[in-house]
Structure 1
Amino acid sequence: METCVQEAHTKETNICLCLNGESSYIHCFGEGVRIFCGSQLIESPNVEIVTSLDIAPWLNPKLSAVQNTIEVCRRVRKILNPCSYFGISLTLNNLDSLDIPRILAIPHLMPRRRIMVIGSEIDKAQLDLIMEEGPEVRDVLLDVKKIPDNYHHKNAFKFSSFICTDSRWVQIESLLSFRNRMVVALNNNPFTIVDINRLIKQWINGDCDMFAHLVLNYTGPRETGLMDVLFDGLVTLELHRGGTLFYLFIQLSILSKFMETCVQEAHTKETNICLCLNGESSYIYCADEGVGIFCGNQQIENPNAKEIVTSLDIAPWLNPKLSAMENTIEVCERIRKMLNPCKVFDISLDMDKLDPLSMQQVLAVPHLMPRQGIIVRGAEIDTEQLDLIMEEGSDDRDIFLYVKKIPDNYYHENAFKFLSFYYTDSRLMKIESLLSIRNRIYVGLNNCPFTPEDINRLIKQWINGDCDMFEQLELKYTGSKADTKVTFFDGLVTLEMHHGGRFLFLFSIAESSTLRKLKILSLYCTKNWMKFLAIPIKEKYIHPKMPVVIGKVEYQILQMLNSKKKFQDEIVEKRESNPRDPNIFEMEENIREIDGQLIRKGVDLDSKIPILRQF
């Protein structure tokens, strides 16, 4: 049975051995299970209880509940291997002093990462045994009401996390010596307000991190004039959030090269950064942190920014001889180094606040490369500026041109070579360029000139092509287009989906291919806008414009409609060459069989375009 459980169990488990007399138990956190080996149980919500009766074959009647729990723990650790975290909890009131050294010396209770001690009092000999565990043991929790007066041990503050209920014996010098601790909580501690002031100053001026979390709980009244003493000589920010008051401090060395290195080492997640250049309101936006860093005197609202850093906050980084835009570029270099790795780096340019020379200089700055996206905004852009942007064209870059007017008859071979692109002014775009795209993520064309016949060619190209064209395609028109549904879908196998008063159209690839990962094309449209989404069928896809689920069923229906159309086309050909061809009847039977299958799947065949309704 142990072997079966061991083979079935694959995830890592946290185990705690809790020894407290007859109610001793083993807690398996990953499984949410408590295994009791004695006669007394401790109830806990959301935890499954295994009693001594359930594991009777494992228990030795000659052993105590504590001894049996230790032996069962050995079995459980073997069964639930790998065990990522193992701890021991000792309730002193139910153990004698001889039990503790014996328990801590048992080989199969090692290695352990946590020791928790619970009780009303602990003597020096017992406490020394616990302290000797450091620093191999990561965490120590002393939930003991009374610890010997003037207690001292060299390992007392060498644990990664240390929680103590009775901290009267702790000296402030020990706290000031902390380095790289995770959680420290000291209840009933003797520290004065002057001590706390020293602690904050040590944190501010120290050369390394002291702790991640520090909690200090007091009993009894504190000194008067607390704030004046506590913040004496400190630069402090009082922050009010949701009725709660916070005090913030910042390390004096935050602008030094050392602090930049610390931030770089501490920051591990990938970050998206956008350099936004628009004159005095130029800024750097760190998307994952939700921070906007302004280097000029003017600030603009960014609804996505949770925090704003002003030029006053980073004054030591700024060069008074440089413009706001130049300072923003220089600060961006520091930010990219500090928040490395930088997964995505984009540049946003406001053409109304840049001249052609500035734009060329910006794009040539070495530390602004590599970049993934370029966003251009403005009323107008000239050919020279647009050529600079288009030269960036490649399969791993994006371009978004929010420019109302581009030069007449403009052309560049790279215009459709970006991974994703959006053009506000697409009046001069040719459908042939759109038909040539391959493996694009997003394509958006505003004010485009395409006719219904062009859209029909586009859909046919998607259906019959040998590789994916795009994931998303948005086409917007000026003014409304006539209802030319017949022209759009002429010669196409189409399925119309209805849900909640809305509808969209589906198409599928003509031939199965390993190169075609996106096998369904959806079209959602209004009078002056249409959006195509290419959809995989491996798992159900919820359409963003309609709460309909698209997947294998819809693909099967489209394939059946494709087969039906092939039979219909063959019948037309055969009737033209030989109206009495005996195969015609067989193909008509196949069509009737397909129609029956479609009807059973809920497809309405009475309309010119088959309709599938989702309720």
Structure 2
Amino acid sequence: MLSTLALKYCHQILFDLEFLIRKEFKFKKLPTIVRMLIIQLMDPAERLHYNKATLIENTALAINKMSGVFNMDGLEMVFTKVTPSLIRLKNIFSNDTFESSWLKITLHEIVLNSEIVNIFLNMADRRKEFYIFDCDMPLDFKHENAFKFGTICYFDARWVTLSDMLNIRAVENVTLGETTLTSIEVRYFISRWINCPRDMFKSMTITAMEIIQLGGLFNKLVVLEHDMNPPNIGYFTLAKSTSRAHKLLFIDYTLNAVVLSAWKPYDNADRYGNIKEKFKNVYEIMELLEKEKTLENELEESRDVTKQREYRDQIQELERKIHELGVVYRDGRATI
């Protein structure tokens, strides 16, 4: 009974959102039943050490003991309201337990400077997540690891430049809130993303400083338009590099925001589930559209009547297959 109740409370303080605002894990403020369990798990030497250790050391000891009792995938650490000192942060992350076991760090409504942000970015790891919400970032901020977490979210991204974004590689998710990016810069970035020889990200959200105009971006691309509710417009296209694992690209934009997604050829249906069942054939459709475009170019260049007839027959067959997969043409644009 003792262990069951104690573990239930330990799980609550670690995972319940209500407890995420705690500034520190104070052993003496835990219910007696929980302290008894943790002390029971200690050997005699650890119990003696506990009375002499610092708050950070005792917290690390409690975490280590609890992780031996039930599965802990990683710590989520939230620094909110009160700005931590550099000394406190260095003490926390010089501890082996905190340095190795954290999975997600969130900074929320604290006063930031470059030194504080650098401490976190120096620990960049593509297996981990880093979020900054409702904090003003230094406008001249720079760090080589700014986009080297698996998931990165900067609500204040006015410091982010186009050059910073072009260096993103092999991450999961990127969110840029307020930026100083223009429509031209966003369009250029999307073009570079499509043509990049390596995967940059699986999902990226960008909020520009003005309404985004993508006119001209798709002139030389084969695209499949997704009929969404205005003013939302979505386009599927394929990455130009055949070496990329996530070749199927989706561009969804409205007003001054754009969401870019990259999928492996046939994993988009799994990701969306039944909600987007009609997307399950998108990669096959895109391949057929690419072949159709290639044949149309060859037909235009050919002067051989026999070849022209062959090209027309092949194009007609491709159009039939594309239609069977649910594609319609509106104003000459393939739409699903």
Question: Aligned-pair distance for 1:362?
Answer: 2.5
Alignment partner, residue 321 of structure 2 = 597
Contact kept, 8 Å, 1:541 with 1:550, in 2: the verdict is no
Unaligned 5+ residue runs, structure 2?
Answer: 39-53
Of the three residues 407, 422, 433, the one matched with 2:153 is 422
Query: If the length of structure 1 is used for normalisation, what is the TM-score?
Result: 0.43
Contact kept, 8 Å, 1:336 with 1:342, in 2: the verdict is no
Say how many residue pairs are matched: 312
1:400 aligns with 2:153: no
Alignment partner, residue 505 of structure 1 = 235
Q: One-letter code of the match for 1:369?
A: E
| Residue-by-residue CA offset, 1:58-110 (whole Å, 9 max, x unaligned) | xxxxxxxxxxxxxxxxxxxxxxxxxxxxxxxxxxxxxxxxxxxxxxxxxxxxx
Question: Aligned-pair distance for 1:481?
Answer: 0.8
1:540 aligns with 2:264: no
Contact kept, 8 Å, 1:394 with 1:419, in 2: the verdict is yes
Change (3 A) 1:465 1:360: same
Alignment partner, residue 225 of structure 2 = 496
Change (3 A) 1:602 1:417: same
Distance, in Å, in 2 between the alignment partners of 1:556 and 1:330 is 57
Query: If the length of structure 2 is used for normalisation, what is the TM-score?
Result: 0.74
Q: Identity over the aligned pairs, expressed in percent?
A: 17
| SS of residue paired to 2:275 | coil
Contact kept, 8 Å, 1:505 with 1:522, in 2: the verdict is yes
| SS of residue paired to 1:473 | strand
Alignment partner, residue 281 of structure 2 = 553
1:439 aligns with 2:170: yes
Distance, in Å, in 2 between the alignment partners of 1:313 and 1:606 is 66
**CA radius of gyration, larger in:** 1
Which structure carries more relative contact order (alpha carbon 8 Å, separation 6+)?
Answer: 2
The equivalences for 1:202-217 within 5 A come to none
Question: Aligned-pair distance for 1:570?
Answer: 4.8
Question: Aligned-pair distance for 1:438?
Answer: 2.6
Alignment partner, residue 215 of structure 2 = 486
Contact kept, 8 Å, 2:76 with 2:103, in 1: the verdict is yes
| SS of residue paired to 2:168 | coil
Question: Aligned-pair distance for 1:472?
Answer: 1.8
Higher mean displacement: 533-542 or 333-342? 533-542
Change (3 A) 1:499 1:476: closer
1:476 aligns with 2:200: no
| Residue-by-residue CA offset, 1:196-231 (whole Å, 9 max, x unaligned) | xxxxxxx77xxxx9xx9xxxxxxxxxxxxxxxxxxx
Alignment partner, residue 248 of structure 2 = 520
Question: Aligned-pair distance for 1:351?
Answer: 6.4
Contact kept, 8 Å, 2:191 with 2:217, in 1: the verdict is no
Alignment partner, residue 363 of structure 1 = 93
Quote the RMSD (CA, aligned, Å). Answer: 4.1
Q: One-letter code of the match for 1:493?
A: V
Q: One-letter code of the match for 2:95?
A: V
Higher mean displacement: 461-470 or 579-588? 579-588
Q: One-letter code of the match for 1:420?
A: T
Distance, in Å, in 2 between the alignment partners of 1:338 and 1:402 is 30
Alignment partner, residue 42 of structure 1 = none
Q: One-letter code of the match for 2:201?
A: F
Contact kept, 8 Å, 1:456 with 1:490, in 2: the verdict is no
Of the three residues 67, 70, 76, the one matched with 1:346 is 76
Contact kept, 8 Å, 1:376 with 1:400, in 2: the verdict is yes
Change (3 A) 1:530 1:485: same
Contact kept, 8 Å, 1:460 with 1:492, in 2: the verdict is no
Distance, in Å, in 1 between the alignment partners of 2:23 and 2:135 is 27
Contact kept, 8 Å, 2:56 with 2:92, in 1: the verdict is no
| SS of residue paired to 1:474 | strand
Contact kept, 8 Å, 1:426 with 1:448, in 2: the verdict is yes
Alignment partner, residue 385 of structure 1 = 116
| SS of residue paired to 2:259 | strand
Contact kept, 8 Å, 2:134 with 2:156, in 1: the verdict is yes
Distance, in Å, in 2 between the alignment partners of 1:328 and 1:550 is 52
Q: Which has a greater percent of helix?
A: 2
Of the three residues 7, 11, 29, the one matched with 1:311 is 29
1:607 aligns with 2:336: no
| SS of residue paired to 1:437 | coil
Change (3 A) 1:548 1:357: same
Distance, in Å, in 1 between the alignment partners of 2:308 and 2:131 is 54
Distance, in Å, in 2 between the alignment partners of 1:539 and 1:405 is 36
Distance, in Å, in 1 between the alignment partners of 2:17 and 2:215 is 48
Contact kept, 8 Å, 2:269 with 2:276, in 1: the verdict is no
